[in-house]
Structure 1
Amino acid sequence: MPKKKIKVLFFIYFLGSGGAGRTFLNILNNIDRNRFEPILVTCNYEGNYESYLNQDIKFVKLPTKRLRSAIIPLAKLIRNEHPQVVFSTIPNYNVIAIVARLLSFTKARNVVREAAFLGQNKKENLKLKLYGLFYRFSKRVVALSNGVKQNLMDKYDVNPNKIDVIYNPVELDHIRGSTGIEQIPEEYKRIYQGDAQVIVTAGRLVREKDHPTLLKAFKKVVETKKAKLVILGEGPLQDELENLASQLGISENVYFAGFQTNPYAFLQQSDLFTLTSKNEGFGHVIVEALAVGTPVVTTNCKPGAEEILENGHYGTITPVGDERQLADAIIEALSKSQDDRDTIIQKGLSRANEFDAQEIVKQYEQVFEKTLK
């Protein structure tokens, strides 16, 4: 008699353009269907990644767009679907998933994932303590990195014995098959024509990503190098950043390309990837850049950059918010000989292989199985 599959309900606000949505997509598409039955549940939104979800995965949208209003319908769905595990990510969503599971009065168990390195002031730290109280009702807590695990222990008061560290899964085969210049939209192909070197960054246009430091550093770069900067991502600060580029006199060299369903072609066709975040729980896009053979210069956005690049072994790390050192590092990276560049690329490719989705998802499978013991 075949062993009964473990039914896992995945809950997220929407399968959107951020790292959490991409991680869920990678886990869902790669989880072993012989042992697990995944169900994806979101609020009533259209997410950018929905079209990439494998067709054999049951997908349910709750009849609400408000997160708090999702508790009761989610509880009913848990009661009707009888999942053994309810898996969620991001603190607010985790709380909703935990409360819904409790109100379902079933034997399902919560597994929550924490991806961000949160806690900057007393008010925020107090909020994290509250999240920690809810996390006590979760069977396991997945931390995105060792730095996030330490933060969960220090600021959420989570028992270290219930924390598992699992890095983000990256679909290397898909990424490496999506990198040709022909896969870049027609209006942006001209960026890669000519002899100017191209720097690319990717991320939401929000304060935490600190794009102003990148723009100020780039101004110093173009004083000595023929270069272009491509900014992938969308967000509330776009007008502000475009105005800053204009004030710095670099608008003609800066391209705001918005959200791209295929950022990998931009990454691979560029000469350098740079990230200027203030902090990153992991830094998924750093791995993606390494995976397509693009050298990396990043700020020390703890804890992600340190762990992925092993303190600078696989890429260059500069202090957060330091435009001068960032500019110097970019100029140095763009000035390397082809032999040195090839060495850096090969090291990066090797490092990226360690985050392959098929291997990382096995670790999630082990956590789901461990949750039921």
Structure 2
Amino acid sequence: MVDGKIFICLPDFSGGGAEKVMMTLIKAFAVEHEITCVVLNENGPFIEKLPSVCHLKNLNCFSAKQALIPMIRLFRVEKPEIIFSTLGYFNFVLMLALWLSGHRPRRVVLREANSPASTIDSLAAKWIGKVGYRFLYNQANHVVCNAQYVSSQLVDFGVKSERIVVIPNPVDVREIHRLANKKMIFPKFNNPSLPLFVSVGRLSTQKGMDRLIDWFSLMEIGANLIILGDGPERLDLEKKISNHGLNDRVKIMNFQKNPFPYMKRADAVLLGSLWEGLPNVALEALALGKTVIASRECKSLQQMKDTKDVPDLTIPATDKAFVEELDNIARIRSERGTPRLAKLCSSLPSGFDVQKVSSKYGSILFGD
């Protein structure tokens, strides 16, 4: 047990991959440590995953910028011994607040969940991101990222390589299999016997759902597509579906706390992302033994495929090749006549095991 206070910080409890990873780690750490979870606000479905033994400090802010002063006060009063935080823009504000507070914890660990280049591109004042990585990140004891290509970008933006640790995302295969067997209501298709593809993610520019619909529309073999998620692009995506004449074969459902029954039924899980860190959806699909077809921009998945034996993961090199792979999967499914159910054994490499990953995080957070 750590003598001092342990703060695990994240913007909120929204249903993104970074938040899911942090909640998984909090659950693992709370078994042996007294954890305080610090959030800007309590928005999001993952608040249900917060263990009851954990303390919760809600800063009641709608943005990281707004939270600067409350964070300074919090650090001065509470004086945490260990701080663990995630997401680039949030990490910038947290590190600035920590410096201004005058408090110096025994250990600060930052987690970089996404591509640093994409974080900088998302900022109106890009110099803030460049300064944040070069100066604020180097004040942390460790910076954890989930893929080697993210590590390389961090170094390019000035983070010292000796501070960087690559640890993959934790995946609880047993829990995923348990949840995948739950009964869910599926959308109604005109022909439900067609091959089924599923894509899970926020309906935003990053996830590339628009081009996924475009690729799907170019298929020669008929198939159905379920998109699970909420976000600002929903109306535009629905319009695109209608323009392609796909209303009977493409359905958008709201964010699902449990997407795994849908993924289990899929002939393949699709990712059309324009950029990614290490996408949890792909890892979870592999944990279900599903075929994953990911866009070439998912560089961490390409690195995983290059270094590990992952036969169920396909990353087409071009848009045309992506469409051809969709047709190939649909053709195999049509010839077989029955959907491919989840395997008894996961095809996910063992390095993503939740206990192994939690242990690695625990070593850098709580070790001597």
Q: Same fold (TM over 0.5)?
A: yes
Q: Does 1:180 align with 2:181?
A: yes
* Percent of aligned positions that are identical: 24
Deviation digits for residues 232-252 of structure 1 (CA, Å, limit 9, x no counterpart): 111111111111111111111
Residues 1-373 of structure 1 correspond to what in structure 2 (within 5 A)? Answer: 4-5=2-3, 7-31=5-29, 33-34=31-32, 36-108=33-105, 109-119=107-117, 126-132=127-133, 133-154=135-156, 156-180=157-181, 182=183, 184=184, 186=185, 188=186, 190=188, 194-221=192-219, 223-225=220-222, 227-310=223-306, 313-319=311-317, 322-336=318-332, 349-370=346-367, 373=368
Coordinate RMSD, CA, aligned: 2.8
CA gap of 1:72–1:126, structure 2 versus 1, over 3 A, is closer
2:18·2:86 contact (CA, 8 Å) conserved in 1?
Answer: yes
- The verdict on how the C-alpha distance between 1:289 and 1:348 changes in structure 2, with shifts beyond 3 A counting, is farther
Which deviates more, 71-80 or 276-285? 71-80
Q: 1:86 to 1:145 in 2, by over 3 A?
A: same
Instruction: Determine the C-alpha separation between the residues in 1 that align with 2:237 and 2:280.
Output: 23
SS in 2 for 1:24: helix
Flag the 1:25–1:327 CA change in 2: closer, same or farther, 3 A: same
Deviation at 1:126, TM superposition (A): 4.3
Residue type at the aligned position of 1:175? I
Q: Which amino acid aligns with 2:285?
A: A
Specify the code of the residue in structure 2 equivalent to 1:113.
Answer: R
- Give the residue type in structure 1 aligned to 2:259: P
User: What is the TM-score with the length of structure 2 in the denominator?
Assistant: 0.88
Q: Is the 8 A contact 1:9 1:87 kept in 2?
A: yes
Q: 1:309 to 1:349 in 2, by over 3 A?
A: farther
Partner Cα separation in structure 2 for residue 257 and residue 308 of structure 1: 30
Contact residue 201 and residue 230 of structure 1 kept, 8 A: yes
Which ranges of structure 1 fall in alignment gaps of 5 or more residues?
none
* Counterpart contact for 1:10–1:38, Cα < 8 Å: yes
Which one-letter code corresponds to 2:173 in the other structure?
Answer: L
State the SS of the aligned residue for 1:294.
Answer: coil
Instruction: Say if 1:283 and 1:192 are closer, same or farther in 2 by CA, change over 3 A.
Output: farther
Distance 1:59 1:241, change over 3 A: same
Query: Which letter does structure 1 place at the counterpart of 2:39?
Result: T
After superposition, the Cα gap between the structure-2 partners of 1:193 and 1:359, relative to the gap in structure 1 and judged at 3 Å, is farther
Does 74-83 or 260-269 show the bigger shift?
A: 74-83
User: What SS does structure 2 have at the residue aligned with 1:135?
Assistant: helix
- Which whole-Å deviations, capped at 9, do the CAs of 1:218-269 have from their partners, x for residues lacking one? 1122x323x1100011111111111111111111101100211111111112
Distance 1:265 1:295 in 2: 15
CA distance in 1, matches of 2:85, 2:239: 38
Contact in 1 for aligned 2:264/2:290 (Cα 8 Å) = yes
Distance 2:174 2:4 in 1: 27
Structure 1 residues 181, 365: closer, same or farther in 2, change over 3 A?
A: closer
**How many angstroms does 1:129 deviate by?**
2.2
Q: Quick check: 204-213 or 245-254, which moved more?
A: 204-213
Q: Is the 8 A contact 1:279 1:300 kept in 2?
A: no
Question: Counterpart amino acid of 1:102?
Answer: W
Q: Kindly state the Cα deviation for residue 127 of structure 1 after the two structures are TM-superposed.
A: 4.4
Q: Check whether the contact 1:98–1:110 (CA below 8 A) recurs between aligned residues.
A: no
1:342 to partner: Cα distance: 11
Q: Say which is worse superposed, 100-109 or 45-54, in terms of deviation.
A: 100-109
CA contact (8 A) 2:13 2:19 kept: yes
Contact 2:189 2:248 in 1 (8 A): no
